[in-house]
Amino acid sequence: MGDIHYSKYLPLSEATFYVMLALNEPLHGYAIMQKVETMSGGSVTLGPGTLYGVFGTLEKQALIVKVAEEERRKVYALTELGRKVLAEQVRRLEVMVGNARALLSAS
């Protein structure tokens, strides 16, 4: 999975990365905000403005799709392309962390 095809989507911002990660299962906005805060240990908190900005971008890029609407709550899920882009971001982060560990342990 080279990043040539996915490079136009990457790198993901921290907020976008966590939103996509939270959408490994279909969720609505408020649940995503809670899940992101929990997953990040409180280091990433998303306000509604940020979240809906991320939704707009990801929908335009076809990385997420609205799958339901329950009592005015829109439920989103990752598309197959979204899963591949997220996996490529994770692969790139692993390379970065591996390089950093190797260099820091050598010094």
* Within a domain: 1: no
* Within a domain: 42: yes
Q: Count the domains in the chain.
A: 1
DSSP 48-74: HHHHHHHHHHHHHTTSEEEEEEETTEE
Model confidence at 87: pLDDT above 80: yes
* Within a domain: 5: no
* Within a domain: 67: yes
pLDDT-based confidence at 4, cuts 50/70/90? Answer: low
**Is there a cis peptide before residue 11, judged by omega within 30 degrees of 0?**
yes
Query: How confident is the model over 30-76, as pLDDT tens digits?
Result: 999 999 999 999 999 999 999 999 999 999 999 999 999 988 899 99
* Within a domain: 35: yes
Range of the domain at 24: 10-106
* Within a domain: 26: yes
Q: What is the mean pLDDT of residues 24-33?
A: 96
pLDDT-based confidence at 100, cuts 50/70/90? Answer: very high
- For the full predicted model, state whether its pTM sits above 0.85: yes
- β-bridge partners, 74: 69
Q: Can you give the pLDDT at residue 70?
A: 86
* Within a domain: 50: yes
* Within a domain: 3: no
**The CATH number of the domain where 18 resides is what?**
1.10.10.10
